[in-house]
Amino acid sequence: MKKTLMILTKDRRDCVDISLTLHERGGSFEVFDHVVFLLNDVTKAHMRYIDEWIDRHPGVACDKIIGDGTRPQGISDMQNRCIATYPGCFYAKTDEDVFPPPNWARMMWEAYESHRHLDNLALITPLLPNNSYGLYILLNHFYPEYLTDFRERFGKNPEPQRVSPTWNSPYIAEWATRKFIHLTDANEEQRRRLETRDLRLETLAERQKTRDNVNDLESQSTASDLMPQVSSLKSQVPGLRSQVSSLRSPFHLFSIPFSIGCIGYDYRHVERMGGIPWNDEPGWCDWIEQHKQVNILDCRQIALHYTFFVQQEWLDRTTLIEAIRAANLPDTLSIAERLQLPRWGRMLRQLPAIARRRISRKA
C-alpha cells in the first residue's frame, strides 16, 4: 500500500520549519511515497518558503493542494482532493505546529499494520501533551507525579473531552509541553515506563496463573488442612485476568472525540465515511463515535503540538516555540531566536488587536 503524508500549513513559517526539519531528520520522508502540502489561504511569502523547501528536496515526491481559504470546509475539501489524487493509500496528516519524534512515520505505519485487520478501524494518533485526551492518558496512566503537579497548579483533574480546559488554557498548554519538550528524551522515558508497566503486568499474570492453579487445587481437594492456604493465595490476586489482558498492549483503543492534528488512517475508513465531512474535526469525530469505529492511541510515542487557536495569542507572547526548537534542533537556533527577537516581533504584531479590544470595551 502506498503512503501519503499531508502537511496542513497556513502562515506559521516558524512552526512548519521545525516540523519539516523534524520530519526529515526523523525519517518520515523515507517512509512516505508522497508528501502533499495542504495550503489554505497562505501568504505569498509563505508560498515562497514552501516552494523553496520543495526545490531543496528533489528526492522527496512533493505536491501542493491550494484551498479556498475557508475553515473548516476548505480544510476538509483539500484532504478529499488529496485522497482523490492519491487513492488507495495509508494517509497521515499533521498540522504545521505538530512536531514529530524520531521514527514517527515508521511507528505510525507499525500501529496501522497491527490493526489493519479491524473492520472498524478509524484514526491512529500518538500521545500529544497539548491535547485533552493525550494529556489525560499521559498523566493518569504513566506520570502520576505530573498528575499531582497538575492538580496542585490548576486545582482540577485533566479531562479527556476534546473541548476541555486543556484545549482552552494556554497555561496548561505551556506546562504540558514543557514537561515533554525534549522529544528524544521524552520518548525514551515513555518507552521505559511502558516496559516497567509490562514487567509489572507479567508479575500480575504469574499471580493470575497461581490463582488458576489454586482454583484447580481447591476443586480437586477436600482436605481441610489445605483450605486456609488456598484461601490465602486466592485473596492475593483478585480480578487480575481482566487487568492483565486490557493493559498489556501499548495501543489504547478509544472512540470519544479528540483533536485530530496528528493522525493516520487508510482509504477504507474514508470510503466507509463517504469522504472527510465538510466540517472536518467535529463531524469526523462524531461519525466515528456514532458508528462505533475504533481509534488507536499509540502509547509508544509522544509528539508535541504547539497551540490551539484559543491559546495562540498568549503562547506567542512566551518563548515556548523557541524552547521547542532549542530542545530538539539546537543547531538550527538563530542568533535572533537566542536574543528572543521573534518573540518581540510576535508581541508587537498583537498590539493593534489588543488596542482595538480595549477601546471597544471602554465604548
Contact assessment for residue 271 and residue 315, using Cβ atoms and an 8 Å cutoff: no
Per-residue pLDDT tens for 275-312? Answer: 999 999 999 999 999 999 999 999 999 999 999 999 99
The pTM for the full model equals 0.86
| pLDDT greater than 50 at residue 164 | yes
DSSP 3-state of 42: coil
C-alpha cell at 202: 507479567
**Whole-number Å distance between alpha carbons of 320 and 242:** 42
What pLDDT digit, counting tens, does each position of 261-277 carry?
A: 999 999 999 999 999 99
pLDDT at residue 220, as a whole number: 52
pLDDT confidence band for 182 (50 / 70 / 90): very high
By CB atoms closer than 10 A (0-12, 13-18, 19+), residue 6 is buried
Residue 234 has pLDDT above 70, yes or no: no
Contact 237, 206 (CB under 8 A): no
pLDDT, tens digit (0-9, with 9 covering 90-100), for 85-111: 999 999 999 999 999 999 999 999 999
The residue count of the chain comes to: 363
On whether the CB atoms of residues 130 and 177 are closer than 8 A, the answer is yes
Q: Are 301 and 129 in contact (CB under 8 A)?
A: no
Residue 20 pLDDT exceeds 60 = yes
